[in-house]
Amino acid sequence: MNLVLMGPPGAGKGTQAKKLYADYRLPQISTGDILREAVAAGTLLGKKAKPLMEAGKLVPDELIIGIVEQRLQKADCLGGFVLDGFPRTIPQAEALDQALERASRRIDAAVSLEVPIELLIERQSGRRSCPSCGTIYHVVYSPPKQQGQCDKDGAPLVQREDDKPKSARARQEVYAKQTAPVKAYYEKRGLLRTIDGVGSPERIYSEIRLALGK
């Protein structure tokens, strides 16, 4: 299954992608994670992306499209994948279709998680993650056993710079303007599956499975 997971920042894409990996071994291709790694490593891509990410803006299409194309050619993606945070613009969606078509592949479904804006902001502001293993927590909804410390490896949890209030709002606006239109792109092709993203991660996940016919 070749899936696109859509939804504004804080909708729970990362959490659901991890569940899909655990059940179906579909690798999670998170362009946000790829870019954060590039920033941490100080690569040219990272240097270009850093100021845009911190301001909550998108990095240019031409920077990200080639990276995703290359990633999808890797062996672990040949049996399916979950794209998390890509495509975020219509040109990205078109480039993705073209790249897959060249390899006689296609997107099977685009799952969109719908969450009201105020809840999104609350989820973003309380989100913490482990810098070493990537586990995601929320200070209220899924806190670690020891405050500020990862349950799995004890590393101090961090808050993403772009989850702080100013960038968080900017990212919601960018989603509404530039990414929400991508839903219509998939709807026209009969691929959009809209899911209520409010509630426990387990309930949302079972709705996703139902929508995918699993």
Q: Which residues are the active-site residues?
A: 13, 88, 127, 160, 171
Nearest Cα to Cα of residue 167 among 125, 134, 201:
125
CB of 50 to ligand AMP, least distance (A): 9
Residues 130, 5: Cα–Cα separation, whole Å? 22
Helix (H, G, I), strand (E, B) or coil at 7: coil
Comparing CB distances to ligand AMP, the nearer of 50 and 206 is 50
- Kindly report the number of other CB atoms within 10 A of residue 7's CB atom: 23
DSSP 25: -
Count CB atoms within 10 A of the CB of residue 89: 21
Give least dist CB 16 to ligand AMP, A.
Answer: 13
Residues in contact with ligand AMP by the rule CB under 6 A: 9, 31-32, 35, 52-53, 56-59, 64, 85-86, 88, 92, 162, 171
Distance CA 96, CA 75 (A): 18
Q: Which is nearer to ligand AMP, 27 or 85 (CB)?
A: 85
Residue nearest to ligand AMP (CB): 32
Contacts of 35 (CB under 8 A, 6+ apart): 45, 46, 49, 53, 59, 64
**Sequence-distant (≥ 6) Cβ neighbours of residue 202 within 8 angstroms:** none
Least separation in angstroms between CB 52 and ligand AMP: 5
Q: Nearest approach, Cβ of 105 to ligand AMP (angstroms)?
A: 19
Between 73 and 210, name the residue whose CB sits nearer to ligand AMP.
Answer: 73
For residue 44, give the amino acid letter: L
Q: Which CB atom, from 35 or from 204, has the smaller least distance to ligand AMP?
A: 35
Q: Residue 67 CB, nearest distance to ligand AMP (Å)?
A: 9
* Residue 27: partners with Cβ closer than 8 Å, 6 or more residues away: 21, 76, 77, 81, 82
